[in-house]
Amino acid sequence: MRKLKLLLTGLLIALIANSQAGQINQINIVSFTVKNTLPGTVDSWLSTPGALVLTAQKVPSTQVREPMMVLQIRSGPAIICGNTTATPKRIDPFDVRVFNTADLTGMLGNCHELKAGTYTICVQFFNIDKVAISREVCKEFKVEEAAVEYSPPTLITPDNGKKFTEKELQSVVMFRWTPLVPRPKEPVTYRLRVWQLMQGQNGVQAMRSNTSLATKDVENLTQTTVNGILTGPCKPPYLCDFIWNVQALNRSGKPMGNNNGTSEPYTFSVVDAKSKGPDNVFPEDKKIIALAEAKKEITFRWTPLIPKPQEPVKYRLRVWQLMQGQNSAQAMKSNNPLHTVDTDGNGQANALTDGLFILRSFLSGPCKPPYLCDFIWNVQAVTREGSVIGTSEPTVFKIASNDIDIQIDSLHVSCCNPNGTQSVYIKIKNNLANTVKITQLNVDKVNGVTNVITITGLAPALPVNITGNGFQVFTGTIKCIDTAKTIRFFVRAEDALDNAITETEVEADTLGCPCDPCRYMTIKVEKDSLSLPKNGNPTQVNLIGSFSGLNPNQVKKITAEIIYFNITQTKDTNCAKCVFDSKNYGNFYPPGSALPGYTGPVFNKPDYTRLVTWNSTIIKDCGGLPHDDGGGVDNGGGNNNGLNPKTGPVRLDPTPARLSTNMTIERQKVGVPDNNNPLPVPQLPNFILPIAVPEMNSLSCCGDVIKICIRYTYYDFCCHACEVIKCYEIKREK
């Protein structure tokens, strides 16, 4: 009897095992491909070619009723995010199905940002009774820290070209610089190095060939001191010229940042404390020179070195012209000199006490933006070998155009207003003591082409007098110029005392701020309505429609969001039916229609959502050309109809019709089908989105009206958004 019981127990265990094995073998996971390295932001996987691909096949001759999927991201044994066997994702029955990245990330709604590390993503299928019907397949992937671009240090002290006395360099010298930008999380070692030049070398050659005179490392500090750089007089082959830089290193000793983590070098040198000069004499500091005089010649005069050097020297005169937005130091550092002249003293009134040089035809024309009529100059004493042994302190002078010196001190042009105009603000400054009269102010060029445009409503009205050293602010409007990238303003002024006339102009970048995205994303929702499903499903209505003017090379993402849902009884108010699964009603639910050139639609909940998203398959940066990153799609033909990250939206060509900047709300009622007057058969729409609704009461005395409002939002590749709200109604009656 005991043997019979054991036999029956064994048979029962075998039957249970065979039953479970049969369940697990109902769906076969053919392949599950996961990219080895993925970004930390899960949403960005949609734009990562081949991020996730799953192929599954139902085993022939098996019956699978309402298959469900569990997809999880794990770190070791811990579940980071995804769904569970308690909340599996319902899948439409299939024989063979390929799940792409959009399908799979749609099931990872609670996954947002993953820290750097190693993870496992696992997938398994279950039946409606939450019994496993496939084996679990897991794949490992890594999330790496995003690479950070650091700006290298910038040297501060000593100033570039600084002159020290021998005594100063024989004591303590302070060196300062800026830190890496942005600030790294890990410690940074800053390595200071100083080289001494030798005869016949320039700074670059000294850094490449010579051993550094001083090398010092400091951690997380942006300053240090060096003692005794100069231990004695500079004797050949050594010069009294030095060059230094700073390099940023990580804890492993590897460079951090652009340019190998190294700053641009600065130089300093030693001057004989007994020597004096050269010094600028004329034009003296802040001198104003008439335009007529500057067009002929300008005489420059300076004092030489005192005492006279034993070896021959020449004097190098350099003059820089300032540009808009620059001060004198910036002009000397960034601009090439307008004039550079080497003179050995021939023709000087007194070669020992006074240096002199005459620059003829100093100014060949008026100072036009971006150039100013402001200049700075200095003189260097240079040895035969090319070493600078003395530099004068720079001084500035100005050229007044015909004794009238006006400038457009500030200018602002707004983006297009809803009424199709751009606001203009101009501040004009009079830099001289005499009063001038502004007689003309208008736009004279668009995109560099002559196009005179009057400023409407100019206030105050012309002519306007500006007192000496005063200013005047003008305001007005111009019509929006959709094709314009730059527009140039023209000002004409007169001096009543001597009838002198001057003109100035400045260009305004009209794309300095982002304009209304709806002006260039001319997308319309057309042939849209609510309709009852053809299959007679009483718990569903369909939102159908099409997007005209949609281009995946210009529009990165489209969303449709239910922002209002209401049901009103049209007959007996007691007809409202009690429902228990109300969380689904008033929401989209799968499946939704795909759009050509876009992935999705993506639902933000596994089974229902109020927000549906389609993402362009084009992969590009703001203002960049489309690219495929090894698998993306380029449907745009490679043109650059995106946005410029520096200047804002780029006008598309041809220019689209202007849209209102206000949010538009349209109402559309769908009539009840009538056998006597049937509705026309609609064309196949670009999208169909099912919306869950409560089943209507079956009594003939009942009826209701469903009203739904949808917010459609279009995003370009620079994150600008255009919104349109549309409301729909549909009537249901027995």
pLDDT in tens, 490-524: 888 876 554 445 556 666 654 444 556 776 777 88
Mark whether 573 and 722 lie in a shared domain: yes
User: Among 51-65, 93-107, 366-380, which is the least confidently predicted range?
Assistant: 366-380
Measured CA to CA, the distance from residue 374 to residue 399 in angstroms comes to: 7
441 contacts 458 by C-beta, under 8 angstroms: yes
Average pLDDT, the chain: 79
Mark whether 365 and 391 lie in a shared domain: yes
Report residue 120's pLDDT band, with 50, 70 and 90 as the boundaries: very high
- What pLDDT is attached to residue 573? 75
Tally the domains of the chain: 5
**Which residue, 86, 119, 143, sits at the end of a domain?**
143
Mark whether 585 and 621 lie in a shared domain: yes
197 contacts 203 by C-beta, under 8 angstroms: yes
Nearest residue to 651 (alpha-carbon basis) of 659, 640, 661, 662: 640
The answer as to whether 150 is a domain residue is no
Measured CA to CA, the distance from residue 423 to residue 414 in angstroms comes to: 5
Report residue 639's pLDDT band, with 50, 70 and 90 as the boundaries: very low
| Side chain identity, residue 280 | N
**Which residue, 108, 143, 178, sits at the end of a domain?**
143
Mark whether 617 and 649 lie in a shared domain: yes
The answer as to whether 567 is a domain residue is yes
Beta pairing partners, 364: none
SS3 call for 334: helix
- Assess whether pLDDT exceeds 80 at residue 117: yes
Measured CA to CA, the distance from residue 270 to residue 239 in angstroms comes to: 9
Measured CA to CA, the distance from residue 565 to residue 582 in angstroms comes to: 12
* Residue 519: φ, ψ to 5°: -75, -25
- What pLDDT is attached to residue 678? 39
Report residue 631's pLDDT band, with 50, 70 and 90 as the boundaries: very low
Nearest residue to 300 (alpha-carbon basis) of 357, 246, 259, 260: 357
Length of the chain: 734
Mark whether 355 and 443 lie in a shared domain: no
Supply the pTM of this predicted model: 0.33
Measured CA to CA, the distance from residue 180 to residue 481 in angstroms comes to: 42
Measured CA to CA, the distance from residue 106 to residue 522 in angstroms comes to: 29
Mark whether 159 and 225 lie in a shared domain: yes
- Helix H or strand E encompassing 105: helix 101-105
Mark whether 529 and 658 lie in a shared domain: yes
Quote the domain boundaries for residue 440. 406-509
| Pairing verdict, β 89-90 and 643-644 | unpaired
37-80 pLDDT per residue, tens: 999 889 889 988 989 999 999 998 888 888 999 999 999 889 99
592-604 pLDDT per residue, tens: 888 999 998 988 7
DSSP annotation of 261:
G
Mark whether 533 and 560 lie in a shared domain: yes
Measured CA to CA, the distance from residue 211 to residue 193 in angstroms comes to: 10
639 compared with 687, residue with greater pLDDT? 687
Mark whether 549 and 691 lie in a shared domain: yes
Mark whether 162 and 235 lie in a shared domain: yes
628 contacts 50 by C-beta, under 8 angstroms: no
Q: CA separation (Å) from 504 to 234, 361, 367, 646?
A: 53, 21, 8, 27
- What pLDDT is attached to residue 656? 31
The answer as to whether 5 is a domain residue is no
508 contacts 413 by C-beta, under 8 angstroms: yes
Mark whether 724 and 608 lie in a shared domain: yes
The answer as to whether 15 is a domain residue is no
Q: Which CATH number characterizes residue 491's domain?
A: 2.60.40.1230
Which residues make Cβ contacts (< 8 Å) with residue 637, sequence separation at least 6? 553
